[in-house]
A = this chain, B = another copy of it.
Amino acid sequence: MSKQKAEKRVFHNNDECPVRNVVAQIGDKWSVLILFALVEGPDRFNSIKSRVVGVSQRMLTQTLRGLEREGYVNRTVYPEVPVRVEYELTGMGRGLVKPLYQLVSWAETHHDEIKRSRQAYDERG
């Protein structure tokens, strides 16, 4: 049967790669923070904007549109005056957040170790 040692996997970086797909969507500056903000319940545009510190109007709109397109977020317009728009996680969005929490929890646990590693790396040039 061919070789004795298993061939090592090859990794592609395109639209058909689920790895790349998810990282491409949530790997930007704001997506994860916005998803986490919405975990606490539906929220309005300007409220999200004030809670996700530093996000510009342009990037908030753009990121929410992306998350909506992937199916992680629902957008609901209430035609009041003035208009009210609420964003909330979909079922799939809540599903995504779980492994994200695992990741972030890991990151928090190892935050100090990472900082020390950086410092050591920088010191030895």
Contact = CB atoms under 8 A, between A and B. Distances in A.
Contacts of A78: none
Interface in A21-72: 21-24, 26-30, 32-33, 36-37, 40-41, 43, 47, 50-55, 68-71
Contact of A51 (B8, B23, B70): B8
Interface string A53-97: 111000000000000111100000000000000000000100110
Given A36-B11, A113-B92, A22 B54 contact: no
Nearest to A37: B11
Given A19-B32, A33-B19, A104-B22, A40 B110 contact: no
A3 interface: no
Contacts of A54: 12-14
A24 B70 CA distance: 21
